[in-house]
Amino acid sequence: MTSMRPPNKTILLKVVILGDGGVGKSCLMNRFVSNRYDENSFHTIGVEFMNKDLEVDGEKYTLQIWDTAGQERFRALRTPFYRGSDICLLCFALNDHISFRALGQWKDEFIKYADIKNNQFPFIAVGNKADIAPSQRDTTSDQINEWCEDNKITNYIETSSKTATNVTEAFSMAVKQWKKLEKQTERELRDQGDTIDLTKGVTIPQNRLCCSTSFGDSRSNSPAITARGGNQAYAD
Ligand SMILES: Nc1nc2c(ncn2[C@@H]2O[C@H](COP(=O)(O)OP(=O)(O)OP(=O)(O)O)[C@@H](O)[C@H]2O)c(=O)[nH]1
Ligand SMILES: [Mg+2]
């Protein structure tokens, strides 16, 4: 049985960032959490995590962000941390086509070790290093759109940790997608009669219990994701 959360509670979400070594995962996390950027950031060994509070559509979230090592030799160190994830950012660098081609393997690795069904999971595709000159881009918008379509990924955003472009937007977009899928799951469970909605008044037959509880409904009805910045971003 599942239940909807009472309003005004902070929701903790585990966010995993995946992608090839050097695409900028650590820089993305550090820009988002500390607003810092390190041009000479070291390769990550294993995993590192940081927390960051974020408000999206009037709801409070604490994002527990897991930054993983993209280098193949650290595979065994990172995969045990995929379990229990709520969101996965699949990152590549816009000037590194090999990192774009690797997105499918990252998605597969995540699905395998996080033990989830891919069609119901909030994956976000992130093209990082959007600050580079157009001539340095080696992946076209058509290639990105095609990959996202083939992989049923409806959210793509281009970021730059260097210029702090679309970084918070990427995480907000991810939370909105999570929320959308959660609502969908709740609706399905409600249709199956397998859930109690704690945000609605609860009427309990007098002959069964001595008290009843109700919560006001102050949740916002968030619209579909519309994150769009100076760089390319789309969401369904
Ligand atoms: N131009 C540009 N360079 C970036 C950006 N983000 C990161 N970089 C550069 O890419 C390098 C590698 O970034 P990291 O964040 O360490 O890469 P990573 O994905 O964490 O790599 P691993 O830890 O090995 O998996 C940085 O040292 C920066 O020089 C960006 O937005 N724009
Ligand atoms: Mg790193």
Average pLDDT, the chain: 85
Q: Comparing C-alpha atoms, which of 36, 21, 140 is closest to residue 69?
A: 21
Q: Is the CB of 207 under 6 A from ligand 1?
A: no
Structure tokens belonging to residue 75: 């595979």
pLDDT at 90 over 60: yes
* Nearest CA, atom 29, ligand 1: 39
Token look-up 């579909």 returns 224
Pairing, β 11-19 against β 59-68? parallel
Q: Comparing C-alpha atoms, which of 229, 100, 96, 89 is closest to residue 164?
A: 229
Q: Is the CB of 43 under 6 A from ligand 1?
A: yes
> Over pLDDT 70: what percentage of the chain?
78
Residues 10-66: tens digit of each pLDDT: 999 999 999 999 999 999 999 999 999 999 999 999 999 999 999 999 999 999 999
Q: Comparing C-alpha atoms, which of 225, 231, 216, 224 is closest to residue 6?
A: 216
Q: Is the CB of 27 under 6 A from ligand 1?
A: yes
Compute the distance from residue 161 Cα to the ligand 1 centre, in Å: 8
pTM of the model: 0.83
Q: Which ligand is nearest to the CA of 126?
A: 1
Residues 122-155: tens digit of each pLDDT: 999 999 999 999 999 999 999 999 999 999 999 9
Structure tokens belonging to residue 225: 């994701």
> Do 139 and 98 touch, CB atoms closer than 8 A?
no
Cα–chain-centroid distance for residue 150? 19
Higher pLDDT, 126 or 219: 126
Give SS3 for 28. helix
Domain positions in the chain are: 9-189
Q: Which ligand is nearest to the CA of 71?
A: 1
> What is the distance between the alpha carbons of residues 165 and 233, in angstroms, rounded to a whole number?
11
CATH number, span 9-189: 3.40.50.300
Higher pLDDT, 69 or 4: 69
What pLDDT is recorded for position 200? 59
Span 182-187, average pLDDT: 86
pLDDT at 233 over 70: no
